[in-house]
Amino acid sequence: MQYISIGETIRNKRIAHGLTQEELADNICSVGYLSKIENSTKQPSKKKLRMLLERLGETLTVTADVTEKVEDFRYNVLRLELMRAIERHNVLELEEKLWVMKKLLNEEDVNDLQFYKMSYLVWEVMCGVKVDDYETKAYQIWCMCRGEDDIIKGFNLDRMNLTEMWILSNVATGFAWKNYFETAARIYLRIYCAIQEQSGLETGMYKTKAIMCNNIAVCMIHLKRYTKAKEFCDYGMKNANYDGGCMLLLHLMRVDMEIHKRRGQQREADETGYLISVIYNKYLETGEEYTDRKDKDIADVLWEHQLIMSI
Whether residue 232 is predicted with pLDDT greater than 80 in this model: the reply is yes
pLDDT band at 255 (very low <50, low <70, confident <90, very high): very high
User: What's phi and psi for 75, nearest 5 deg?
Assistant: -70, -35
Closest CA to 87 of 165, 161, 178, 166: 166
> Domain for residue 134, yes or no?
no
pLDDT of residue 60: 38
Q: Is the pLDDT of residue 230 over 80?
A: yes
Picking from 32-46, 181-195, 227-241, which range would have the lowest pLDDT averaged per residue? Answer: 32-46
Q: pLDDT: is 199 or 48 the higher one?
A: 48
Residue 306 lies in a domain: yes
Q: What pLDDT score does 68 carry?
A: 47
The reply to whether 264 falls in a domain is yes
> In this predicted structure, what is the pLDDT of residue 23?
87
Interval 257-280 mean pLDDT? 96
CA distance 290 to 84: 11
In a domain, 83, yes or no: no
Residue-range definition of the domain harbouring residue 228? 182-311
Q: pLDDT tens digit string along 19-35?
A: 888 888 888 888 878 88
Count the domains in the chain. 1
Residue 280: CB partners within 8 Å, gap ≥ 6? 250, 290, 298
Residue 281 lies in a domain: yes
| 124 found inside a domain | no
When pLDDT is cut at 50, 70 and 90, the band that residue 293 belongs to is low
Q: How does pLDDT run across 30-65, given as a tens digit for each residue?
A: 887 888 777 766 666 667 777 888 788 764 344 444
pLDDT score recorded for residue 32: 79
> 251 in a domain, yes or no?
yes
Q: Would you call 251 exposed, middle or buried from its count of C-beta atoms within 10 A (0-12, 13-18, 19+)?
A: buried
Q: At what angle do helices 60-87 and 6-16 cross, to 10 degrees?
A: 150
Q: Torsion over CA of 232, 237, 240 and 241, rounded to 10 degrees?
A: -150
Whether residue 219 has pLDDT greater than 70: yes
Residue 54 within any structural domain of the chain:
no
Q: Is the pLDDT of residue 198 over 80?
A: no
